[in-house]
A and B are shown apart, each in its own frame.
Chain A
Amino acid sequence: MTETALPASRASRARISSRAWRGAAVPAALVLGWLAFVDSGVIRTPLLVPLRTILGAPFLDPDGRQIWLALAASLGRVVAGMAIGSTAGVALGIALGLSRPLQRSVAPTLHTLRQIALFAWIPLLTAWFGTGETAKVAFISLSAFFPAFLNTEQGVRAIPRAYWETAAVLKLRPWRRVTKMVLPAALPSILIGLEIALLTAWIGTVGSEYAIGVGRGVGAFLVAARELFRMDLVLVGVVALALVGYAFNRASRRIFSRIVTWRDR
């Protein structure tokens, strides 16, 4: 059993790594092209900055070094907003999935609110909470809330009737019914919701900092860099954004794939 499993897993690992290399082909070509045309001086324009300047800026440039503080501020915010928004989303999704009357009275409102473009909330939130930390965290919570809520609600509603009947026949108490049946049964769907919520929370973080513009953060760093016409710093901000988003995605997939270990039937 293990003798046959070993070469197979090695082969599949080789396949995965070759796929990963193919996925890296486009970014690699972009870097090479950048080096060949911009760094070499073939193209000279203030809009494009040599790669070495971009990579050096976070360490060598006094303004560029601000990116680290900005990054710390943004990460703090995304954690707070994600925690609030996704907790509320999962809780409400379960409550609505469990209670038909609650579903009928609350779901239409939530599904209508979801139609409002996320950034349209910013004027309202700044009017309510000012331009400080509260408005930003409220906005990030809102961006994390909807994916978490929608996927949880859908996951609970998709639980097969056989499970509900089993819970009924066993006379499970309400709390036990949630922890031993509803949550695990809806868990794959909830985790997908959390994965999307984390990414939208990150977009919401940078978006709120960019749109509200006061205080520290990667979004505010981008605004400041653009106003100073420091293209090197703008690109530093963009790279930081992308790397964090990529890291979130990889980390959440890796963690979540270890949570659901059982197999149906």
Chain B
Amino acid sequence: MTTSSSVHAPAALSLRRVGKQYTVDNQPLPVLDRISLDLKRGEFLSIVGASGCGKSTLLRLVAGLDSAFDGEILIDGRPVAGPGAERGMVFQDHRLFPWLTIAGNVALGLDSLDLHARERDARVAAMLELVGLPAFATAYPHQLSGGMAQRAAIARALVSEPDILLMDEPFGALDSLTRVYLQEELLRIWSQRQVTVIVVTHDVEEAVYLSDTVAVMAPRPGRIVGATTVDLPRPRDRADPRFGELKSAILGQLRR
């Protein structure tokens, strides 16, 4: 394992025996138990699990929002220390600032980089083009539909050209038509940008439709109980029998 990883290109993201516990009434309450994952550069991973299994907690650790955990999270071999521009994050709620325009919100993603105003504006415009919102640059968040706001949030996360995109139930609050549309959009953006993606979701069909690998988490304490490789060619057909087989196999892992 160690020799092979020194020969091949290192994994873009590695989790090594990551654990986390809260203290409730002076008793340790484990929420994540020795989670190990390796993602190749450009890989699309979904983590599925029931609510409360710790999948969002895990994503927050990778995002650098919480530094109190055991084990190691490595990006290109270096341990994470706080949030970084090489990781973009999309939350379930879009979390756009209501007092800024869409372009202003997206530009915030570039604040940590030293860019000239012209370069910054160009990148924001290109990003809005990529997510299909060029006409809404000067609109305010409350003027957008839920799906459009979430696309703006994806643009904000991607504008700094991160290597890793982390998404916490990104389409969970959207209606099913918008959700399917945004899944296709996400795959298009992913194939254009070649980013490594982790999506946390409770929707198994969404996970199978999107991912190279679907990891299943079980609760109390949160742990990985299975990882399924989805080797169907894209674009995937939800009516394909093999799609259904993978879906029911993963659902089986969830029920156990």
Contact = CB atoms under 8 A, between A and B. Distances in A.
Interface of A: 162-163, 165-166, 168-173, 176, 180-181, 184-185, 187, 262-265
Given A172-B108, A173-B112, A162 B93 contact: yes
Given A168-B65, A169-B63, A172-B108, A163 B98 contact: no
Nearest to A162: B95
Nearest to B95: A166
Given A168-B64, A169-B87, A172-B112, 16 more contacts: A162-B93, A163-B97, A166-B97, A168-B82, A168-B83, A169-B63, A170-B108, A171-B83, A171-B112, A172-B111, A187-B99, A262-B99, A262-B141, A263-B140, A264-B98, A265-B98
Interface in B172-213: none
A162 B91 contact: yes
**In the complex, the 9 A-B pairs of residues with the closest C-beta atoms, listed nearest first:** A171-B112, A184-B99, A262-B98, A169-B89, A263-B142, A262-B99, A166-B95, A169-B83, A170-B108
B147 to A, nearest CB: 14
Contacts of B83: 168-171
B18 to A, nearest CB: 19
Given A176-B111, A180-B108, A170 B156 contact: yes
Determine chain B's interface SS by DSSP, over half rule: loop
A43 B38 CA distance: 95
A180 B100 CA distance: 8
Nearest to B90: A169
Nearest to A167: B108
Contacts of A168: 64-65, 82-83
B77 interface: no
A264 B84 CA distance: 27
Determine chain A's interface SS by DSSP, over half rule: helix
9 contacts: A162-B91, A162-B93, A165-B95, A169-B87, A171-B85, A171-B111, A171-B112, A172-B108, A180-B104
Interface string B62-86: 0111000000000000000011110
A170 B111 contact: yes
Given A170-B108, A170-B156, A263 B65 contact: no
B94 to A, nearest CB: 9
Nearest to B85: A171
B66 to A, nearest CB: 10
B111 A265 contact: no
A103 to B, nearest CB: 21
A171 B160 CA distance: 11
Nearest to A166: B95
Nearest to A183: B99
Nearest to A170: B108
Contact of A184 (B87, B97, B112, B141): B97
From A170, A180, A184, A263, residue with most partner B Cβ within 10 Å: A170
Contacts of A176: 108, 111
B109 interface: yes
